[in-house]
């Protein structure tokens, strides 16, 4: 989960369509599906333009709004882990690029690219064999537990 510190309930309610596309999001929160169902993820965060690497297996870009100046990165069972990233308030293109590093470990690179105007659409830039994104991506999700 990647979310602005002002978001009280960052979890998103996943539908089958969200699972097929690999993410569920709202304006200031996004929940990315991972390549591995169980295991460990090494997460790296960068502010700036996304740069392709050959080892990437899954790449998803979403619009993201930072209101508080702080973004939190958590796993689904790691609420309040303390991983806080300072980012100037504004609109971003958030790119999540993932790849396996072993049978039970993966790497996730997050790129926060500042944009002058809010983006209107998400994009699956590279789909691994487990993703089956619909022609039109689902751009909204309900709060987990409320859908």
Q: Give tens-digit pLDDT for 99-108.
A: 999 888 999 9
Q: What is the pTM of this model?
A: 0.93
Q: Report whether pLDDT(36) > 70.
A: yes
Kindly indicate the confidence band of residue 127, based on its pLDDT and cuts at 50, 70 and 90: very high
Query: Minimum mean pLDDT among 5-9, 26-30, 72-76, 92-96: which range?
Result: 72-76
| Confidence band, pLDDT 50/70/90 cuts, at residue 147 | low
Domain containing 127: what range?
2-143
- How many structural domains is the chain composed of? 1
CB 59 within 8 A of CB 124: yes
List, for residues 50-66, the tens digit of each pLDDT value: 999 999 999 999 999 99
CATH of the domain at 123: 2.60.34.30
What phi and psi values does residue 131 have, to the nearest 5 degrees?
Answer: -95, 140
Q: What is the pLDDT of residue 78?
A: 64
pLDDT band at 79, cuts 50/70/90?
low
């Amino acid at each position: 989960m990647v979310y602005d510190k002002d978001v009280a309930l960052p979890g998103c309610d996943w539908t089958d369509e969200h699972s097929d596309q690999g993410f569920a999001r709202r304006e200031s929160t996004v929940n990315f599906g991972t390549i591995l169902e169980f295991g460990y993820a090494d997460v790296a965060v960068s502010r700036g333009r996304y740069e392709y690497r050959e080892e990437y297996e899954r790449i998803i870009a979403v619009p993201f709004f930072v209101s508080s100046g702080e973004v939190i990165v958590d796993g689904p069972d790691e609420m309040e882990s303390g991983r806080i990233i300072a980012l100037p308030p504004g609109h971003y293109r958030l790119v999540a690029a993932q790849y396996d590093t072993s049978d039970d470990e993966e790497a996730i690179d997050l790129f926060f690219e500042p944009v002058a105007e809010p983006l209107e659409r998400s994009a699956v830039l590279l789909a691994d064999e487990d993703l089956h994104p619909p022609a039109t991506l689902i751009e909204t999700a309900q709060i987990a537990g409320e859908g």
